[in-house]
Amino acid sequence: MLKNPSENIIAKNSLHAQELRSAQIHWDSEGQPFSEDFNDVYFNTDSGIDESRFVYINPSRLQERWQQHQGSFTLLETGFGTGLNFILTWLEWIEFQANTDHQQDHQQQRFQEKSNHLHYISIEKFPLNKDQIAQALSLFPQLKHLTDQLTAQYPLLIKGFHSLQFKDEHLTLTLIFDDVSTALPMLNGPIDAWYLDGFAPAKNPDMWTDTLYSSMAQLSKENTSVATFTAAGDVRRSLSAAGFKLNKVSGFGMKREMMHGTFNQGQGPLNSPFNSLKPWLKPNIEPIENVAIIGAGIAGCTTAYALARRGIAVTIIDKHGIATEASGNPQGAMYAKLAAGEATHSDIYVQGYLQSLRWLHQHLDAGDGWDNCGLIQLASTEKEALRQQKFIANTDYPTQLLHSIDQEQASAISGVTMNSGGLFFPEAGWVSPQRLCQELVKHPLITLEKAHIKDLIEFKAANSYSHVVIACANQSQELLNDCYLPTKSIRGQLTYLDQNSVNTQLSSINLKTVLCGKGYIAPAHQGKFCLGASYNIKDTETKMRLSDHQKNFNYLDDFGEEFQQLNHQLQAQAAKNFPGRTGFRCTTPDYLPMAGPLIDEQAFDHDFTAIRKNLARYPRHAVKFHSGMYVNIGHGSRGLTSAPLCAELIAAYICGENFPIAKGHAEALLPARFYIREMVRNKR
Ligand SMILES: Cc1cc2nc3c(=O)[nH]c(=O)nc-3n(C[C@H](O)[C@H](O)[C@H](O)COP(=O)(O)OP(=O)(O)OC[C@H]3O[C@@H](n4cnc5c(N)ncnc54)[C@H](O)[C@@H]3O)c2cc1C
Ligand SMILES: C[S@@+](CC[C@H](N)C(=O)[O-])C[C@H]1O[C@@H](n2cnc3c(N)ncnc32)[C@H](O)[C@@H]1O
């Protein structure tokens, strides 16, 4: 999938981020990976599988606990290494699912009674790259069917969260490339089982710190398990002090002892799970019976799929049908528009972009509704060129994500004579959101209904939905009069150009990548080019206008000589009715989507009035939420990049799981953020 997976890239992902250092591996004479940093082996080929089961999987009593656990089960490993523990736990999960399916094949019932989803979180400070993972795991050919799926999705070495979903497996792997002590405080919890791996405390004292133990206590709940290969006295004392009741037992092979145990609040400091979380990130976890999603655009359909993948039945309700409004565009540019100095925006959009790419690879064949033909963000003005230079100088993303190209390279890559260089995203491209939505709603747990919902309270009362997700873009406010959702509607018009038009030179243009300047154009699909898109604030006109087509033609000037000539030719045909379509973007004041639970603002105003004086002194008591109500809106001009990630976030909220993103990022996406900001500024 990735065009140059062998590149061993080291990257920092935001202006403030430290470098991510990749693993320094040496392969011994038996082909086993050996860590040069820690002077230790990752595993032993002869006994690695048995050891992993003996030390981690069996003492965690996974099969037995999965039978009893309701909803999503979260396991956290320190040190992903080669991924062997993950693959073996996955095998265990497959066995559990096969047994459960055998006993009971109604997925919805299973959701309520047993574990329906495994969330495996693994933190790795010195990640191996994709090729190294493949090489290491090739020592276990019997696991190939799973290691191939892991390596197909294994992320670029970019610091931060990478949430990987495995189709039809009810399994999420969240890889966090960071130090354990930095990553754990970014999680929202709770964790059901810990695998404490990470080289021996004597060789790796930096990992076995007080931050590790205190974070573990904050993220654990009663009977959360811990399993570790070490029985070192310091580790035992620290885990006990943090609240874990431990057993020291015989170790694997030549190792004398190891430990496992459970979190027991009675014996350690009083900790409740989530106690480090701001109250507005802690909606009540309500039993899930049936979920309704209002709106069948990309936000609604991706959310439906994220829930259905966890075994939850979902009904999508739309007044028109699947993806007919903003998500009905035939081609949209899918990439991350990154801003130097905006670490939160950039982190979220990079993560969203990588998430969308994984979803697209998983759900659509290239050429069928999308094409990862690459995308050039052109430096077509002096201001944009300076912005890009500053961005490249201040960040250090892997070249597979993006890199700077000059005019000549841009021409060679795009197939047209460019006037400028820009930023090249080799894996990006164009997407038909409608095609993706059509594919996602094929999930057997998703049902579609056509209806225009006018009154949400009435709708909720008349139906037995335990949860409702509002994904109606700009029209959400009509359903949620008593919530402050400051979205702005921005009209956009697309122009379709016939590739074989005899009146222009279009048929001679062989565009190979998506080009983005002030507007964008994608390679021709099904005989037409899609050129977009005008940007009109406070404009509600649904009919197409010639003046907007002309605006779009002017965008062609950014795309090099052939397209400049085309602009002249098209402007000369001004009397013609050009085909195209109009749509409305739904933007927010800070250009990030709104994805999360809905707080009861009146109650919040009353209970949290203290934040007007000092936000940091927020009361610690619970926030009142509108029971089971969530929104996923505000995707602006970048819905193809942000929707799948926000969908996974909403599913995590509803299922009481760890978020697929850092909790600080979840807070940046919280729909109530604007209300909270206004309170702090005393505007409310
Ligand atoms: C011209 C244009 C060009 C764009 N280009 C790009 C691009 O290149 N790249 C990119 O990433 N993004 C692009 N976007 C943005 C992208 O299309 C949106 O971010 C995305 O489609 C938003 O999806 P959504 O599901 O939130 O909203 P929508 O797709 O608008 O879906 C909302 C749905 O809610 C339904 N609905 C509303 N009210 C009700 C109700 N009361 N009852 C029942 N159903 C209801 C509607 O029928 C609709 O289907 C563009 C947008 C426009 C307009
Ligand atoms: C023995 S290996 C893990 C093996 C792995 N669980 C597997 O299944 O292959 C230990 C891992 O811990 C990682 N590690 C060491 N210190 C760390 C830290 N402070 N934060 C995160 N990861 C760390 C190492 O880079 C290494 O990959």
The three-class DSSP label of residue 286 is coil
Q: Provide the CB-side half-sphere exposure for 630 (13 A, CA).
A: 36
- Out of 51, 76, 157, 204, give the residue to mutate to test ligand 2, the one with the largest number of ligand atoms within 8 Å of its CB: 204
Is 111 exposed, middle or buried (CB count within 10 Å of its CB: 0-12, 13-18, 19+)?
buried
Residue partners of 75: CB distance under 8 A and separation at least 6: 60, 89, 118, 119, 120, 121, 191, 192, 193, 194, 195
Is 433 close to ligand 1, i.e. is its CB under 6 Å away?
Answer: yes
Compute the C-alpha angle 111/113/118, nearest 5°.
Answer: 55
**Region 563-592 average pLDDT:** 91
- How far is ligand 1, taken at its centre, from the CA of residue 584, in Å? 7
- How far is ligand 2, taken at its centre, from the CA of residue 353, in Å? 27
In a domain, 675, yes or no: yes
- pLDDT of 495 reads 96
Q: Which of 458, 487, 463, 461 is nearest to 473 (CA)?
A: 487
Q: Are 246 and 260 in contact (CB under 8 A)?
A: yes
Whether 273 shows a pLDDT value over 90: the answer reads no
**Residues 171, 283 within the same domain:** no
**Residues 308, 422 within the same domain:** no
DSSP 12: B
Whether 398 shows a pLDDT value over 50: the answer reads yes
Last residue of a domain, one of 568, 587, 606: 587
In a domain, 201, yes or no: yes
- How far is ligand 1, taken at its centre, from the CA of residue 531, in Å? 17
Residue with the bigger pLDDT between 339 and 234: it is 234
Closest Cα to atom 25 of ligand 1: 297
**Residues 412, 557 within the same domain:** yes
DSSP 474: G
Whether 5 shows a pLDDT value over 50: the answer reads no
Compute the C-alpha angle 676/680/684, nearest 5°.
Answer: 75
Q: Provide the CB-side half-sphere exposure for 502 (13 A, CA).
A: 0
Q: Are 124 and 78 in contact (CB under 8 A)?
A: no
Whether 14 shows a pLDDT value over 70: the answer reads no
**Residues 409, 444 within the same domain:** no
In a domain, 350, yes or no: no
The three-class DSSP label of residue 301 is helix
What Cα–Cα distance (Å) separates residue 158 from each residue in 21, 227, 428? 10, 28, 17
- How far is ligand 1, taken at its centre, from the CA of residue 535, in Å? 15
Amino acid identity of residue 227, one-letter, is A
Q: Are 280 and 672 in contact (CB under 8 A)?
A: yes
**Region 348-365 average pLDDT:** 96
**Residues 43, 91 within the same domain:** yes
What Cα–Cα distance (Å) separates residue 346 from each residue in 15, 391, 487, 659? 10, 11, 21, 18
Whether 270 shows a pLDDT value over 80: the answer reads no
Whether 271 shows a pLDDT value over 80: the answer reads no
Q: For the chain, give the percent of residues with pLDDT over 70.
A: 93
**Residues 482, 493 within the same domain:** no
pLDDT digits (tens, 9 = 90+) for 593-606: 999 999 999 999 99
Is 536 close to ligand 1, i.e. is its CB under 6 Å away?
Answer: no
Whether 8 shows a pLDDT value over 50: the answer reads no
Compute the C-alpha angle 330/336/338, nearest 5°.
Answer: 140
Which domain covers residue 580, as residue numbers? 375-426+488-587
Last residue of a domain, one of 560, 587, 614: 587
- pLDDT of 1 reads 33
Closest Cα to atom 50 of ligand 1: 637
For the CA of 320, the nearest atom of ligand 1: 47
Instruction: Give the Cα separation of 293 and 664 in Å (integer).
Output: 26
- pLDDT of 481 reads 83
* Band of pLDDT at residue 660, cut at 50, 70 and 90: very high
Last residue of a domain, one of 543, 566, 587: 587
Instruction: Give the Cα separation of 325 and 297 in Å (integer).
Output: 7
pLDDT digits (tens, 9 = 90+) for 123-144: 999 999 999 999 999 999 999 9
Q: For the chain, give the percent of residues with pLDDT over 90.
A: 78
What are the DSSP calls for 380-406, one per residue? -SHHHHHHHHHHHHH-B--TTT-EEE-
- pLDDT of 275 reads 61
* Band of pLDDT at residue 71, cut at 50, 70 and 90: confident
Q: Which of 286, 204, 207, 191 is nearest to 243 (CA)?
A: 191
What CATH number does residue 253 fall under? 3.40.50.150
- What is the number of the ligand closest to the CA of 327? 1
Residue with the bigger pLDDT between 396 and 7: it is 396
- pLDDT of 574 reads 67
**Residues 496, 479 within the same domain:** no
Helices (H) and strands (E) in the chain, counts: 22, 29
In a domain, 344, yes or no: no
Least confident span in 245-259, 282-296, 325-339, 566-580: 566-580
Is 452 close to ligand 1, i.e. is its CB under 6 Å away?
Answer: yes
Residue with the bigger pLDDT between 673 and 684: it is 673
- pLDDT of 114 reads 61
Strands 171-177 and 115-124: parallel
The three-class DSSP label of residue 372 is coil
In a domain, 369, yes or no: no
Is 453 close to ligand 1, i.e. is its CB under 6 Å away?
Answer: yes
* Band of pLDDT at residue 684, cut at 50, 70 and 90: confident
- How far is ligand 1, taken at its centre, from the CA of residue 655, in Å? 25
pLDDT digits (tens, 9 = 90+) for 82-108: 999 999 999 999 999 998 864 554 444
Residue partners of 206: CB distance under 8 A and separation at least 6: 179
What CATH number does residue 524 fall under? 3.30.9.10
Backbone φ and ψ for 117, nearest 5 degrees, come out as -155, 135
- Structure-token pair, residue 232: 């070192």
Domain count, the chain: 3
pLDDT digits (tens, 9 = 90+) for 483-505: 999 999 999 999 999 988 877 78
* Band of pLDDT at residue 15, cut at 50, 70 and 90: very low
**Residues 533, 666 within the same domain:** no
Is 552 close to ligand 1, i.e. is its CB under 6 Å away?
Answer: no
In a domain, 364, yes or no: no
* Band of pLDDT at residue 11, cut at 50, 70 and 90: very low
Instruction: Give the Cα separation of 354 and 156 in Å (integer).
Output: 9
Least confident span in 201-215, 274-288, 498-512, 516-530: 274-288
Is 640 close to ligand 1, i.e. is its CB under 6 Å away?
Answer: yes
For the CA of 475, the nearest atom of ligand 1: 38
* Band of pLDDT at residue 18, cut at 50, 70 and 90: very low
Is 533 close to ligand 1, i.e. is its CB under 6 Å away?
Answer: yes
In a domain, 235, yes or no: yes
Bridge partner list, 396: 12
Torsion of CA 298, 552, 376, 525, to 10 degrees: 60
- How far is ligand 1, taken at its centre, from the CA of residue 633, in Å? 9
**Residues 564, 598 within the same domain:** no
Q: Are 286 and 466 in contact (CB under 8 A)?
A: yes
What CATH number does residue 465 fall under? 3.50.50.60
- Out of 20, 21, 80, give the residue to mutate to test ligand 2, the one with the largest number of ligand atoms within 8 Å of its CB: 80
- What is the number of the ligand closest to the CA of 468? 1
Whether 266 shows a pLDDT value over 90: the answer reads no
Instruction: Give the Cα separation of 506 and 570 in Å (integer).
Output: 10
Computed over every residue of the chain, the mean pLDDT equals 91
**Region 14-18 average pLDDT:** 42
In a domain, 136, yes or no: yes
pLDDT digits (tens, 9 = 90+) for 501-560: 877 788 889 999 999 999 999 999 999 999 999 999 999 999 999 999 999 999 999 999
DSSP 527: T
**Residues 625, 533 within the same domain:** no
For the CA of 82, the nearest atom of ligand 2: 9
**Residues 438, 463 within the same domain:** yes
**Residues 524, 612 within the same domain:** no
Residue with the bigger pLDDT between 375 and 16: it is 375
Closest Cα to atom 10 of ligand 2: 198
What is the 3 state secondary structure string of 43-93?
A: CCCCCHHHHHHHHHHCCCCHHHHHHHCCEEEEEEEECCCCCHHHHHHHHHH
